[in-house]
Amino acid sequence: MQHTMLQPAHPHGPDPHGADPRDLLPRDEPVRLIDEAGAVHADEGYPMPSADLLRRAYRGLVEARRINDQANALVRQGRLAVYPSSHGQEACQIAAALVLGAGDWLFPTYRDSVAVIARGVSPADAMVLLKGDWHSGYDPHEHHVAPQTTPLATQLLHAVGFAQAAKHRGEDTVVLAMCGDGSTSEGDFHEALNFAAVFHLPVVFFVQNNEYAISVPLSRQTAAPSLAHKAIGYGMPGRRVDGNDVAALLAVLGEAVDRARAGGGPALIEAHTYRMQAHTNADDDTRYRERAEVQAWAERDPLTRLRTHLTARGLLDAAGEQELAEGAETIATALREALNADADLDPEDLFRFVRSTRSPQLQEQWHRLRDELERAGTAVEGGPR
C-alpha cells in the first residue's frame, strides 16, 4: 500500500527496475577514446574498436570529406540547388553507418547525406533531392535507409514505428534515428523517445549536437546540463560522446545498438561536434558566430585526429593515404559526372505516385497539362530545363 502510494502504482518499463535510476544519467564528461592529439584516452567502460574497424572508419572519413567538398562545389556550379554539409561532423556520419548491421535501418535528416551514402546508397541517388529531380532518389528498402527528412524530428517517430513493426514480427532489427540539437526542442522528439521507452523498442536516438540550429545556439535550445540528460525523463540511458572521435562514437553507438538488439530497449546518445560550414550554402554564418570559434573547432578535426592516431600506431602510411585519396576521388568524379548529366524528366511523374491508382481528377489534370505541353510544342517527355 505504502509502496503504491509513493511510487507510480504500475510497473514501469523493464529498464530501470530495481536499478538506480541515476545510471540513466550521462557521465559529466563525454566518452572519448582518442584525444585531440591522436593519443589513446583509455576508458574502462568502452574498449577501443579494432584496428580493422578504425581503418574502415578512416576510409569512410576520407570519402565523407571528399563528398562534402564535391557537393559544395556542385552547389557553386549550380548543379545542386542546396547542400547542407556535414563537414566537421563526418565522424558521426561514418560511425552511424558502421555500427548498423545489414538488416538494421537508418533514419537520417537532410544533413546526413554522407551517412546515407556510407550505408550503400549511391552518391548520385542521395543527391536527387538536393538536385531537385525528385523528393528522394533511392528506394528505402534497398539499402534500409529511410528518405532523408526535412521536417525536424518527425523521422524519429517513423523510426520508432518501424522498430515496433519489427518487434511485432519478432525480427531483431535495430533502428538508428538521427537528429540535430535544435530538433530536440520539437514535440515529436519527446513523443518519439517516450513511445520507444514505453514500448521498450530497439531504437538508438543519435543527436548530433553541432552547437547550432541554423543561427540559434544551443543555449537557446536548452537549459539542461546536457541533451543526454533528457533520457532519464523517458526511462532510458543517456550518453554523451565526443562527436569528433570516431573511435568513441563507434564504441558508444555500438554498445547502444548491441543493447537494443539484445532487448535492452532504446537509448539516447548525444555527440558533441560542430558544423564547420554554414547551415547550407544559402546561409551566412558570419552573422551569428565568431570566426575564432569556428577556427578552434577546426583544430579538432575528426579526420586529422584519426589520421594522427593511425599513423602513430603504424596502421596508416603515405601509400595507404594515397590509395584512400584516390578511392575518394573516384567517388567524387562519379558524383560530378552523374550530376553534370541532366536527368530525363517526365512531367507525368507529377501525377504517377500521388496515389497507387490515379484518381479521375488527377488523370484529368494530367491530360490538361499534356494538352498544354502539346499545344506549346514541348515534347511531352520534358527533357532538361
Partner 1 sequence: MTIAHDDVRQDAGPSDDGRPAAVATMTMAAALNRALADAIESDPAVVVFGEDVGALGGVFRITDGLTERFGEDRCFDTPLAESGIVGTAVGMAMNGMRPVVELQFDAFALPAFEQIVSHVAKMGNRTRGAVRMPLVIRIPTGGGIGGVEHHCDSSEAYYAHTPGLTVVCPSTPQDAYSLLRAAIASPDPVIFLEPKKLYWSTGEVDTSIVGRIGSARIARAGTDVTLIAYGSSVATCLEAAEIAASEGRSVQVIDVRTLTPFDDATVTAAVRSTGRAVVVAEAPGFASVASEIQSRVFERCFEHLEAPVRKVTGFDTPFAPPKFEHWYLPDADRVLDAIDTLHWLDEHGDEA
Given the rule CB under 8 A, which residues bind a second copy?
A: 1, 4-13, 15-16, 21-22, 24-25, 29-30, 36, 185-191, 194, 197-198, 200, 209, 211, 217-226, 229-236, 242, 265, 272, 293, 296, 299-300
For residue 151, which amino acid is it?
A: P
Q: Which of the following is catalytic: 87, 144, 240, 275?
A: 275
CA dihedral angle for residue 94, residue 96, residue 102, residue 103, rounded to 10 degrees = -160
Instruction: Sketch the per residue contact string, 254 through 293, with ligand TPP: x for CB under 6 A, - otherwise.
Output: ---------------------x---x--------------
Of the candidates 236, 230, 240, the one whose C-alpha atom is nearest the C-alpha of residue 189 is 230
Residue for grid cell 570519402:
63
140 binds, among partner 1, a second copy, ligand TPP, none (CB under 5 to 8 A by kind): partner 1
Largest separation between any pair of C-alpha atoms in the chain: 83
Residue placing its CB nearer to ligand TPP in the complex, 195 or 212? 212
Q: Nearer to a second copy by C-beta: 26 or 137?
A: 26
Closest separation between CB of residue 246 and ligand TPP, Å?
18
- Judged by CB under 6 A, the residue of 25, 100, 114, 152 near ligand TPP is 152
How far is residue 246's CA from residue 248's CA, in Å, rounded to a whole number?
Answer: 5
**x-or-dash string of contact with ligand TPP, 180-199, rule CB under 6 A:** xxxx----------------
Nearest 5 degrees, angle CA 59-CA 61-CA 65?
120
User: Interface residues for Mg ion in 186-225 (CB under 5 A)?
Assistant: 210, 213
- Does position 130 interact with partner 1 (CB under 8 A)? The reply is yes
The one among 74, 98, 213, 268 contacting ligand TPP by CB under 6 A: 213
Length of the chain: 385
Stretch that binds partner 1, among 49-57, 87-95, 293-301, 343-351 (CB under 8 A): 343-351
Q: Are 113 and 126 in contact (CB under 8 A)?
A: yes
Helix ranges (H only) for the chain are: 2-6, 51-76, 90-98, 113-118, 123-126, 128-131, 140-143, 154-168, 187-198, 246-261, 291-298, 302-312, 318-340, 349-352, 360-375
Minimal CB distance residue for Mg ion: 180
Q: What angle do CA 302, 270, 274 make, to 5 degrees?
A: 40
Residue 275 annotated among the catalytic residues of the structure = yes
Binding site for ligand TPP (CB under 6 A): 111, 150-152, 179-183, 210, 212-214, 275, 279
